[in-house]
Amino acid sequence: DSGVTQTPKHLITATGQRVTLRCSPRSGDLSVYWYQQSLDQGLQFLIQYYNGEERAKGNILERFSAQQFPDLHSELNLSSLELGDSALYFCASSVGGTGRYGYTFGSGTRLTVV
Amino acid sequence: TQLLEQSPQFLSIQEGENLTVYCNSSSVFSSLQWYRQEPGEGPVLLVTVVTGGEVKKLKRLTFQFGDARKDSSLHITAAQPGDTGLYLCAGDGLGGATNKLIFGTGTLLAVQP
């Protein structure tokens, strides 16, 4: 157990639907990062939050949004889902706001859009 | 275009063999990390290297950061089936941005007993 909790582990939904992925960071970590992993693109950075504030954005689609709550857990919302959104979505956390000393990853949410 | 290219993409070897995985970029990174990912799990941090030329050892694994901080290598001695997994390098500090790690393309290693 890495200390980063992601739910649900698996999600199957239809095109056009909206889903919410949840992440609880490791105790004491203030930063949360979201990554998408697919076979053809590898691990792609989506967005980072630090202590409730958005800190950095990657290649995140406009249909996707995220937030970090006062208790530091984070949610990634994916809407108007398309087949191509099927992927593994990982949340990671770190103590500070940088990646310099590494991230702790959760076990991921496998999203299948049918 | 991937900023961090790993080679080889796939590697299948017998238990006891040695291997080296490479992580290359044309860009300079503040630090470079190596992760191992097993099926159904998230990547797990193995090591962080921050100084050009730095060498770190973790049991049978040896990690090196290039002098110019643009590349790194991972050498495994006497590989074991438990070393099987996806090895990912990740760079921090590209262009001064320290907010996010950029991950390499990955090397899938299979060690046959």
Hey, are the CB atoms on A97 and B98 less than 8 Å from each other? yes
Spatial distance between the Cα atoms of A47 and B95, rounded to a whole number of angstroms: 17
The answer for residues whose C-beta is within 8 angstroms of residue B106's C-beta and 6 or more apart is A42, A43, B6, B9, B86, B87, B88
Average pLDDT, rounded, for chain B: 92
- Sort out which chain B residues have CB atoms less than 8 A from A101's CB and list them: 31, 48
Tens digit of pLDDT for each residue in B51-76?
A: 999 999 999 999 999 999 999 999 99
**A77-96: per-residue pLDDT in tens?**
999 999 999 999 999 999 88
Q: Between chains, do B100 and A58 touch, taking CB under 8 Å as contact?
A: yes
Average pLDDT, chain A: 94
